[in-house]
Amino acid sequence: MAVNDHDVRQNVATISCAIEQAAHAGADILLTPEGALSGYTPNFDPAAVEAGLREVAALAREKSVGLALGTCFKESNGLIYNQLRFYTANGEYLGFHSKILRCGAVTVTEPPEGEINYYATTDLRAFNFDGVAIGGLICNDMWANPACTPMPDPHLSQQLSHAGARVIFHAVNGGRDGSDWSRDTVWHFHESNLRMRAAAGNVWIVTVDNAAPSHLPCSAPCGVIDPRGQWACRAAPMGEQFFVHTIEL
């Protein structure tokens, strides 16, 4: 899915199209990238995001598709969270996971700067989706990139596994620049973390990255990884993709 950081209406249209595709394919739940509704930015229009959320949630309920919806959102307490919001196929709102390992430029002498200064966070939790324990993680929550993680790695995927989660939905909006470093190092760091953490926790991981800009490869692979750490389903590395996979539990 291609996410626009400045056009909520365009993102609503993109998400709505994905909901229609998911319904046609008989999917139980649709996962979108990090910030898919709001854009990956704290400088969104809260009213526009709330209106867009009502629209896509209503469509998903109408089409009987659950959601693991990535968006930044201003809650009633006035705080902004980078969220993965969970809804059942009948439209019941289960709650949200907020990004915990918020990125910040790591330096030796100065406090970190970046999204860690803009987003609040909440405790990690699992959700009951139609009798199945699931969890959500957002981008750096999974791999704790040492270049932008100003806190120790709490191994959140392992924590979700210990909490009983059998499937982890992982929403990504990674940076990419088309460089050799991005292709040869960052991509493989992301993939090895996904596969090793799935195997270590004996969990399924469903992961999707933002496809924009479409002329550059994604920063991380997208698809479904089984509890042995093997790809069960894998999308193409570049451009907007839609995939469906049945997870046998």
Query: Are residues 49 and 117 in contact, defined by beta-carbon separation less than 8 angstroms?
Result: no
Could you give the CA distance from residue 196 to residue 150 in angstroms, rounded to a whole number? 22
Backbone φ/ψ region at 144: left (φ over 0), alpha (ψ -120 to 50), beta: left
Query: What is the pLDDT, as a whole number, of residue 107?
Result: 63
Query: What is the pLDDT, as a whole number, of residue 108?
Result: 54
Among residues 71, 44, 43, 74, the alpha carbon closest in space to that of 57 is found at: 71
Q: Where are the domains of the chain?
A: 8-234
CB atoms within 10 A of CB 228: 10
Query: What is the pLDDT, as a whole number, of residue 15?
Result: 98
Query: What is the pLDDT, as a whole number, of residue 150?
Result: 87
Query: What is the pLDDT, as a whole number, of residue 223?
Result: 98
Please report, in angstroms and rounded to a whole number, the separation of the first and last CA atoms in the chain: 27
Query: What is the pLDDT, as a whole number, of residue 121?
Result: 97
| Topology classification of domain 8-234 | Nitrilase/N-carbamoyl-D-aminoacid amidohydrolase (3.60.110)
Contacts of 179 (CB under 8 A, 6+ apart): none
Each residue's pLDDT tens digit, 61-92: 999 999 999 999 999 999 999 999 999 999 99
Query: Are residues 208 and 171 in contact, defined by beta-carbon separation less than 8 angstroms?
Result: yes
Task: Report the run of H or E that residue 97 belongs to, with start and end.
Answer: strand 93-98
Verdict on whether the full-model pTM lies above 0.95: yes
Regions of the chain short of the pLDDT cut 50: none
- DSSP string for 59-95: HHHHHT-EEEEEEEEE-TTS-EEEEEEEE-TT--EEE
Among residues 129, 124, 49, 70, the alpha carbon closest in space to that of 94 is found at: 129
Query: Are residues 132 and 204 in contact, defined by beta-carbon separation less than 8 angstroms?
Result: no
Query: What is the pLDDT, as a whole number, of residue 93?
Result: 98
Residue type, 15: I
**Burial class (CB within 10 angstroms; exposed 0-12, middle 13-18, buried 19+) of 55:** middle
Query: What is the pLDDT, as a whole number, of residue 214?
Result: 87
